[in-house]
Amino acid sequence: TRNIDLAVVAGDGIGTEVVEQGLAVLDAAVAGSDLKISTTEFDLGARRWHATGETLTDTDLQRIREHDAILLGAIGDPSVPSGVLERGLLLKLRFALDHYVNLRPGKLYQGVTSPLAAPGEVDFVVVREGTEGPYVGNGGSVRTGTPHEIATEVSVNTAFGVERVVRDAFARAQARPRQHLTLVHKHNVLVHAGHLWRRTVEAVNADFPDVTTDYLHVDAATIFLTTNPSRFDVIVTDNLFGDILTDQAAAITGGIGLAASANINPDRTAPSMFEPVHGSAPDIAGQGKADPTATVLSVSLLLDHLGLADEARRVEAAVAADLVGRGATVRTTAEVGRDLAARVAG
Ligand code: NAD
Ligand code: IPM
Ligand code: MN
């Protein structure tokens, strides 16, 4: 028997609803095998913060580190000042566990309606840098609240940080049929960081000669994601551009309820974390309306990361089959989860 220790951070809003279904599908995927999933639930998010003022303590972090992987639902709540949980919990996990590859597939499954009239075949993956950029918290505000306030958020891009994520993106591109990599940045304005990214892609390309590359400014990238998304294979970009592009990618491939992500520590010095791209959706929380599919596809990425490729393919195939027949039918969160688990069980 192989035991897998999974840390579960269900979090806030629809996070708890979608994680319950993700875990049910995971159970179905390993049922009857010699794999055993042990879950540890971590009480993190709005409830904990209101009760204790804590977001993520050193002890929480230490305990989470002892697991093989993390499944996260979503965090964030209107009752908590914006940024407290996002920075103090979610980003703290990504940074502390060195999740420098934030992998976000953009795939239009058969049977899924895109808002684009003729999307063509859409199957790309965004490699979003996960530990640097404007997310590092290198900023501040002086003369706060006065007409002379100056607020800064400095984007930090290190040669070390850019090279390791670019290398990972090249390796992924090399392993895909089209072997193409698009760098997205804004080097016409953000010249310092932009040129570092451009030089790095050029240099690392020497080690991946089969991979073709091109470059798009982020504003133009949003045009092509709408007008010609099938041109993309692997996109590599910084933390903030990647955040924005992957919500757009979700929208064109059937909606945020289907978009999965993996926060990967490729060096395996700490557990990687799997979560839907979406947030806690306070507008629909508690109503059973959330689509758990994004979480289920994130479970498939989790299985892949643990080397369980057969189980991962079974979960993805279950989602693909469900999507083919979905049409305009409306099911609750639990009904979708139940149907997916049943398909996985075979
Ligand atoms: P959101 O993703 O929570 O919601 C955006 C819209 O998408 C809403 O209309 C929501 O109802 C809908 N939606 C989201 N997930 C859905 C699903 N599974 N099925 C059906 N509809 C779904 O983004 P937001 O409203 O900008 O943010 C809400 C809170 O979540 C904020 O506190 C934000 O900081 C946080 N957030 C957290 C994460 C995360 O934990 N990884 C990600 C994004 C936002
Ligand atoms: C995401 C979210 C987060 C991000 C927020 C909640 C910190 O939008 O996972 O896409 O910006 O990375
Ligand atoms: Mn986002």
Report ipTM for this prediction: 0.99
The ligand 2 site (C-beta within 6 Å) comprises 76, 86, 90-91, 243, 277, 279
Cα-Cα-Cα-Cα dihedral sign, residues 227, 229, 234, 239: positive
Q: Which long-range contacts link 17-20 to residues 24+ away (Cβ below 8 Å)?
A: 17/73, 17/285, 17/286, 17/288, 17/290, 17/292, 17/333, 18/73, 18/74, 18/276, 18/290, 18/291, 18/292, 18/294, 18/295, 18/333, 19/71, 19/72, 19/73, 19/295, 20/292, 20/334, 20/337
CATH code of the domain made up of 1-104+266-346: 3.40.718.10
Distances (CA, A) of 322 to 61, 129, 345: 36, 31, 13
Which single residue is written with the structure tokens 């949003």? 222
DSSP for 5-50? EEEEEEESTHHHHHHHHHHHHHHHHHTTSSEEEEEEE---SHHHHH
- Binding-site residues for Mg(2+), in ranges, read 219, 243, 247
- Which residues have beta carbons under 5 A from ligand 3 (an ion)? 243
Q: For residue 278, what pLDDT band results from cuts at 50, 70 and 90?
A: very high
68 or 329, greater pLDDT: 68
The domain 114-253 is classified under which CATH number: 3.40.50.920, 3.40.718.10, 3.30.420.40, 1.10.8.60? 3.40.718.10
pLDDT in tens, 99-128: 999 999 999 999 999 999 999 999 999 999
Q: Ligand 2 atom closest to Cα of 243? A: 10
Pick the residue whose CA is nearest to atom 9 on ligand 2. Answer: 277
Q: In this model, does residue 329 exceed pLDDT 90?
A: no
Q: In this model, does residue 327 exceed pLDDT 90?
A: no
Cα-Cα-Cα-Cα dihedral sign, residues 18, 19, 20, 22: positive
Q: How far is CA 232 from the centre of its chain?
A: 18
Please indicate whether the domains covering 1-104+266-346 and 114-253 agree at the CATH topology level.
Answer: yes
Mutate to test the pocket of ligand 2, among 243, 263, 275 (most ligand atoms within 8 A of CB): 243
Mutate to test the pocket of ligand 1, among 17, 246, 278, 326 (most ligand atoms within 8 A of CB): 278
Annotated catalytic sites, by residue?
A: 135, 186, 219, 243, 247
Q: Give the integer Cα–Cα distance in Å for 104 and 124.
A: 9
Q: Give the integer Cα–Cα distance in Å for 336 and 341.
A: 9
CA of 205 to the centre of ligand 1 (A): 36
CA of 274 to the centre of ligand 3 (A): 14
* Nearest listed ligand to the Cα of residue 94: 2
pLDDT at 251: 98
- Binding-site residues, in ranges, read 94, 104, 128, 219, 243, 247, 279-291
With contact defined as beta carbons under 8 Å apart, do 90 and 26 qualify?
no
With contact defined as beta carbons under 8 Å apart, do 190 and 155 qualify?
yes
Domain ranges of the chain: 1-104+266-346, 114-253
Pick the residue whose CA is nearest to atom 4 on ligand 2. Answer: 243
- Binding-site residues for NAD(+), in ranges, read 279-291
pLDDT in tens, 30-72: 999 999 999 999 999 999 999 999 999 999 999 999 999 999 9
Structure token digits, residue 309: 């490729």
Whether pTM > 0.80 for this model: the answer is: yes
Q: Ligand 1 atom closest to Cα of 283? A: 11
Closest residue by Cα to residue 77 from 290, 268, 280, 326: 280
CB atoms within 10 A of CB 263: 27
Q: Give the integer Cα–Cα distance in Å for 64 and 90.
A: 13
Q: How far is CA 208 from the centre of its chain?
A: 25
Distances (CA, A) of 87 to 90, 103, 137, 169, 217: 6, 19, 9, 26, 27
